[in-house]
Chain A
Amino acid sequence: MGLKRKDLLSLAPLSVDEIQLILETADSFKEVTGREIKKVPALRGRTVVNLFFEPSTRTRTSFELAAKRLSADVINFSPSSSSVVKGETLLDTARNIEAMQADIIVLRHPSAGAAEALAVGVKSSVINAGDGWHEHPTQALLDLYTIRERGLPFEGLRVAIVGDVAHSRVARSNIHALAKLGAEIRLVGPPTMLPRGVEKLGARVYYNLDEALRGVQVIMMLRLQLERQGIALFPTIREYARLYGLTAERVKLADPGAIVMHPGPINRGVEIAPEVADSLSSVILDQVANGVAVRMGILYLMSGAN
């Protein structure tokens, strides 16, 4: 069974079966990443282009490593914002990449909808590695993988997503996937960070972190964009940390076996206390490790190599 899609742009349209297939495929690649020789020939002769219009170290590196471990040829194309000709249309970008005979394009773009626009314009498979505030499907899939790895069933799973949901593509992708899988989603943050109508995606909204954490099994922290202090989403980092920072005390409000997640990079002492980030309940580094295996699975499924 394969993934009957040309592209992976968003988790909103994926079925539960498709999500499960991706997670199961990642299992076998997780095993590969544990070997001494961490390489399989699955994508030999295929070309993966990492097209990153936004600076990103970890996502790009994770995709690059995943593609290389599958023996694909990898090209990193990261037009810095200054060198991108202002106003080059997405269609032109698409045609250029297509001319390079790329099998798979991994796109990171500051504009929501960019991956969708690219996918329409090219025959290559497009994987969305983050488009504006819209979605970051592979991050959510690696989050799901990490939750599943801890033996937590999705049905009825109580998950708190904490922070700037309004500007978070990670949050949107996770909300879509977790809602489909039957989880109970609690979104927590100041009202300025919880966008209008977000409940319609299948989540409950909380303004009080202590209340929201009660009994949850997964605490998913979002990175605070410190520069948003200036545009009035929150008065000071100090007050934000006091109201919405995850401390060891607060973790105790959650289920005793609760795990703490963060897509990184973390702001220690702001949204997450150092002792929480380094605690046994933290799975932050498992997320990073699983990211490679999950992306291997996705690249493998998208390539149609199976």
Chain B
Amino acid sequence: MAIHIAGGHVIDPGRFNGVADVLIDEGRIVAVGPDLTTPIGGTKIDATGRLVLPGFVDLHVHFREPGFEYKESIQSGAAAAVAGGFTSVCCMPNTNPVNDNQAITKFMLDRARAAGLANVFPIGAITKGSEGEELAEIGDLRRAGCVAISDDGKPVMNSLVMRRAMEYALAFDVPVVDHCEDLHLAEGGCMNEGAISTELGLPGMPAAAEDVMVARNVALAELTGARLHLAHISTEGSVRMVREAKSRGLHVTAEACPHHFTITEETVRGYNTYAKMNPPLRTWKDVQAIKDGLSDGTIDVIATDHAPHASQEKQLGFTEAPFGIVGLETALPLTFALVDEGVLSLESAVDKLSTAPSKAFGLAKGTLAVGADADVVIVDQQEQWEVDPTMFRSKSRNTPFAGWKVKGRVRTTIVGGRVVFEAAQAEP
């Protein structure tokens, strides 16, 4: 059925930015232009005063299925995604069993089809069981539908294994994604190392634990020519090294998470387990560096690292509680706050949520070009709301942003030409 989105402010990063209508039919964008007419039998959505954007693409989510469905399933994760404006998500392989073979990949894709909400793109493991020792069958994973490879959460410590993975990945033109953390340097740590960890008596993870692995990975990308994507960079040092690597023309892309450009290690005070994630919240200097990196293009992508955990897990003591927070349903307002702050233009914010991530992983997404898949999100940029985790579509509620008054809300999400999410009417 055709959908006519009328009168919205359409932003298709790098291609179009202005008031226009968008016409969708048979799952594709069929026209973008002024004063289109609603086809007979089609639906008209009045988007006056709203933004009409290519659906967001999250390169970094943990949907926990198979193995940890009590935290999140592919169905609940996809529901959270579309509620947050994400029409495509890339699922990290640290499930149980690990997504290190095509059977798991196919299972995930089946579950995603059954859910019928967001487009789900699995990320395959780099090594068998993400043990960091033997390469997984990367060719099979690619053929089965994996769009990247990563041992996220269990970084590949052995540099020779990482080199071989990068070389091998070249044959399939698949990006290699690394969670940069030297596990020896970070051992036992549960927050950023510094004056606050010292005061709280919590074991710290130094910024250097991230920096040394970013440096290693950049060196290996240079050696192998691989497409390297750096997950959730959080330190000033990482930003500096990525900037330098890009200036030398290496195939390096990088992502940052909303929490790393919004809050600092101060949030940990009171032993707040909702402020426990890996990489940890850092200092104001690091937050500023991440913003600078987003602003000057060093950081291509905003990704959520959506990491659901059950309440009983986050109620453990700070050192025992697991790392991670949910992010899909708060990423849009936190990113748009950077627009209000003047860090990003509106178009570049949309680019980092949609177009740039698609390019980084080579996905045919993130555009409203005629003929593209009709993945569209309609946003009220001005709507103010309060983050209430009990309203999340995710199964989990672990967010440090509960009670925050934020601005910018998803009104309608369309995936493949089908409306999959509509927000309740705003209170007058």
Contact = CB atoms under 8 A, between A and B. Distances in A.
A131 B316 contact: no
B317 A197 contact: no
Contact of B316 (A89, A133, A134, A198): A89
B95 interface: no
Contact of B271 (A12, A112, A135, A200): A112
Contacts of B295: none
B288 interface: no
Interface string B172-213: 000000000000000000000111111111111010000000
A135 B201 contact: yes
A90 interface: yes
Given A112-B271, A116-B270, A116-B271, A91 B198 contact: no
A117 B195 contact: no
Interface in B238-290: 270-271
Contacts, number: 73
Contacts of A90: 315-317
A134 B195 contact: no
Given A112-B271, A117-B271, A132 B195 contact: no
A134 to B, nearest CB: 3
B201 A169 contact: yes
Contact of A197 (B198, B203, B312, B316): B198
Contacts of B319: 111-113, 132
B22 to A, nearest CB: 49
A198 B317 contact: no
B201 A201 contact: no
A133 B271 CA distance: 13
Contact of B193 (A113, A114, A196): A196
Interface residues of B, number: 23
B208 to A, nearest CB: 11
Interface in B90-129: none
Nearest to A53: B317
Nearest to B202: A112
Nearest to A171: B201
Contacts of B203: 133
A132 B270 contact: no
A256 interface: no
B318 interface: yes
B316 A87 contact: yes
B320 interface: yes
Nearest to A112: B201
A200 B198 CA distance: 10
Nearest to B268: A113
A38 to B, nearest CB: 34
A195 interface: yes
Q: Give chain B's interface secondary structure class.
A: loop
Which of B204, B312, B316 has its CB near the most chain A CB atoms (within 10 A)? B316
Interface residues of A, number: 26
A78 to B, nearest CB: 17
A207 B198 CA distance: 18
A114 B195 contact: no
A113 B269 CA distance: 9
Contacts of B197: 195-196
Which of A113, A114, A131, A201 has its CB near the most chain B CB atoms (within 10 A)? A113
Given A197-B195, A200-B195, A134 B315 contact: no
B311 to A, nearest CB: 9
Contact of A113 (B198, B200, B204): B200
Given A117-B271, A131-B201, A134-B200, A109 B195 contact: no
B317 A114 contact: yes
Given A117-B271, A197-B194, A197-B195, A133 B202 contact: yes
Contacts of A132: 201-202, 319
A161 to B, nearest CB: 14
A172 interface: yes
Contact of B317 (A117, A133, A169): A117
A200 to B, nearest CB: 5
A135 B198 CA distance: 11
A196 B312 contact: no
Nearest to A133: B201
B318 A112 contact: yes
B318 A196 contact: no
Contacts of B200: 112-113, 134
A87 B203 CA distance: 20
Interface in A180-235: 195-198, 200-201
B202 A113 contact: yes
Nearest to A113: B271
A196 B202 CA distance: 12
A172 B199 CA distance: 7
Contacts of A172: 199, 201
Interface string A72-111: 0000000000000001011100000000000000000101
B312 A87 contact: yes
Which of B201, B313, B317 has its CB near the most chain A CB atoms (within 10 A)? B201
A61 to B, nearest CB: 24
Contacts of B199: 12, 172, 197, 200-201
Contacts of A131: 201
Contacts of A91: 315
Contacts of A116: 270-271
Interface string B284-321: 00000000000000000000000000001101111110
B154 to A, nearest CB: 21
Contacts of A109: 317
Contacts of B206: 196
Interface string A126-140: 000001111100000
Given A133-B203, A196-B198, A197-B195, 6 more contacts: A113-B202, A132-B319, A196-B206, A197-B196, A200-B198, A200-B199
19 contacts: A12-B199, A89-B315, A90-B317, A91-B315, A111-B320, A112-B201, A113-B270, A117-B271, A166-B198, A172-B199, A195-B198, A195-B204, A196-B193, A196-B194, A196-B198, A196-B204, A196-B206, A198-B195, A200-B195
Query: Sorted from nearest, which 3 A-B pairs have the closest CB atoms?
Result: A197-B195, A113-B271, A134-B201
